[in-house]
Chain A
Amino acid sequence: MSEETDRNTRPKASIEQRVVATKEALIDAGRITEADLDQFAHMAQDWRPENGAKVVARAWTDPDFRARLLEDATSACAEMGYAGPQGEYIVALEDTPDRHNVIVCTQCSCTAWPVLGLPPDWYKSPAYRARVVREPRRVLREMGLQLSNEVAIRVWETSAETRYMVIPLRPEGTQSLTEDALANLVSREALIGVALANPPTR
Chain B
Amino acid sequence: MDGIHDLGGTQGFGRIDIEADEPVFHHPWQRTSFALMMATQIVMRSHNTDEYRHAIERMHPAHYLLCDYYERVLTGTVSLLLEKGHLSREDLEQRAGGVFELAGPVADRPMADLTPQPEARFSVGDRVRVLTISPSGHIRAPKFCRGHEGTVIHRAPKFRFPDTSAHGGELRKEHTYHVEFASKDLWSDSDAANDSVIVDLWDSYLEASS
Q: Which residues of A contact B (CB under 8 A)?
A: 7, 10-26, 29, 31-32, 36-41, 43-45, 85, 89, 91, 104, 106-109, 117-122, 124-131, 133-137, 139, 142-144, 152-162, 189, 194
Contacts and interface: CB of A to CB of B under 8 A. Distances in A.
A189 B17 CA distance: 12
Contact of A125 (B16, B38, B176): B16
Contact of B176 (A104, A143, A160): A160
Contacts of B162: 160
B78 A143 contact: no
B196 interface: yes
A40 B196 contact: no
Contact of B154 (A22, A91, A121, A139): A91
Interface in B70-118: 70-71, 74, 77-78, 81, 86-87, 91-93, 95-101
A18 B74 contact: yes
Contacts of A160: 140, 156, 159, 162, 176, 199-202
A127 B38 CA distance: 26
Interface in B132-181: 140, 142, 144, 154, 156-157, 159, 162, 176, 178, 180
A125 B69 CA distance: 8
Nearest to A42: B35
A142 B70 CA distance: 26
Interface string B33-70: 11110111011100000000100110000000101111
Given A19-B36, A109-B69, A13 B97 contact: yes
B56 to A, nearest CB: 7
Contacts of A39: 35
Nearest to B98: A13
A18 B27 CA distance: 14
Contacts of A7: 99
Nearest to A93: B198
Given A23-B32, A133-B197, A134-B186, 17 more contacts: A7-B99, A15-B67, A15-B74, A21-B95, A26-B36, A26-B39, A44-B24, A122-B19, A152-B194, A154-B197, A155-B183, A158-B200, A159-B140, A160-B162, A160-B176, A160-B201, A162-B200
B47 to A, nearest CB: 13
Contacts of B27: 16
A91 B19 CA distance: 26
A202 to B, nearest CB: 22
